[in-house]
Amino acid sequence: GIREALTSILADEGYDATSVASGEECLALLDRRSIDLVLLDVWLDGIDGLETLERMRKSGMDPMVVMISGHASIETAVRATKLGAFDFIEKPLSLEKVILVIKNALEVHRLELENRRLREELGGKTQLFGDTVPMRALRQQITLTAPTNGRVLIYGESGTGKELVARSLHAASLRRDRAFVEVNCAAIPEELIESELFGHSKGSFTGASENKVGKFEKADGGTLFLDEVGDMSLRTQSKVLRVLEEQRLEPVGSNQTISVDVRVIAATNKVLEEEIAHGRFREDLFYRLNVIPFNLPPLRERIEDVPVLARHFMSEFAAAYGRKPKELSEAAIGVMLRYHWPGNVRELRNLIERLMIVAPQDKIEPLHLPPELFRASSRMAQQPNATLHQARDSYEREF
């Protein structure tokens, strides 16, 4: 009777509801169909509800489960919760409560699926492609460094993938379930950078119409990525140094002290030792940040990775635009291998996106490539004092 009544009511509420009489039938149905939520009685003929729930979880079935019982004890409810039940409803059933619990359970289920999808996408965004020696060494360094709380300073030209390395470190760390917060120090005006990092109190300056939580506080328990840290003003550097030393901060215009537990990863395309020599970067902050240095190779120094990266980006953009991936001809790859790539991996990614959008044919030939790729490689021009061995090496590679 309860099954028939609930099925009818849920259908009226717009749900696609099905009922079965036993735990065995429930497991068989879950084997055949994708079910979002199960209302499961504790007392059943055959295996009981708790045994059904346990088998469900051991089989990898992950619908939301709401338990129902007219004879429940606290011990039963606790066991059901430990087995992963979302909620526990006692008989006699209140229809309003049943509908509300189902609505909440399905919303949590939707959020979990969304979270899983985003994690899968993020997993793709933390994968480092390439099999050259520098890339293998980089992946090994990430594996060793990620599980620690050691601060990391990433050096590399623009477009080499500093943010990707930072995300990879976070994803492989013990903080991976907490926030990854990014701050581009070069993109935020100097007068706003302190508010952005530390937050501010309402009325602390013109335009501060409400309290704001800073990036350090948002990253509490997780990772804060300070991109282009070399562009930070000396005043802000002083405050960041204090936070790193004390793990405490004060929002702008506030006397309140907030404790934070943040792992800081910084990145720069500048030579910070030169910035220190010219008085533009604090030496004490440099040593605070530079616990574990990472040096990212420019694309020209791992040129053999270009075909791998190009094909990866082609697949990525094909999926994004709902198109079939285009094939890169050997001749086109040859042109790309001879190019210097001043914009590094970002330039290559932009090129592949352009080819995916505008190239009419399914196969990319040299005639589809932009003119700048045909300019003579400037690799040797950048090495006027190269030895004969280096010159021959470079010529053979280019040839």
CA 35 – CA 44 distance, rounded (Å): 20
Phi, psi of 147 (to 5 degrees): -70, -5
CA 8 – CA 18 distance, rounded (Å): 10
What SS3 class is residue 292?
strand
What's the confidence (pLDDT) of residue 65? 94
> What pLDDT digit, counting tens, does each position of 239-251 carry?
999 999 999 998 8
> What pLDDT digit, counting tens, does each position of 5-27 carry?
999 999 999 999 999 999 999 99
Tokens in use for 159? 């477009």
pLDDT at 99 over 90: yes
Residues contacting 293, CB < 8 A, separation 6+: 152, 153, 154, 155
Least confident piece of the model among 70-74, 82-86, 200-204:
70-74
CA 291 – CA 289 distance, rounded (Å): 6
Q: Which of 39, 54, 46 is nearest to 22 (CA)?
A: 46
- DSSP state, residue 131: -
pLDDT band per the 50, 70, 90 thresholds, residue 190: confident
Query: pLDDT above 70 covers what percent of the chain?
Result: 94
What's the confidence (pLDDT) of residue 377? 46
Q: CA 36 → CA 89, 102, 314, distances in Å?
A: 18, 10, 35
Most confident of 247-251, 271-275, 379-383: 271-275
C-alpha dihedral (290, 294, 300, 305), degrees to nearest 10: -160
What's the confidence (pLDDT) of residue 314? 94
How many CB atoms neighbour CB 98 within 10 A? 19
pLDDT at 378 over 70: no
pLDDT band per the 50, 70, 90 thresholds, residue 78: confident
CA 133 – CA 260 distance, rounded (Å): 38
In terms of pLDDT, which residue wins out, 312 or 125? 312
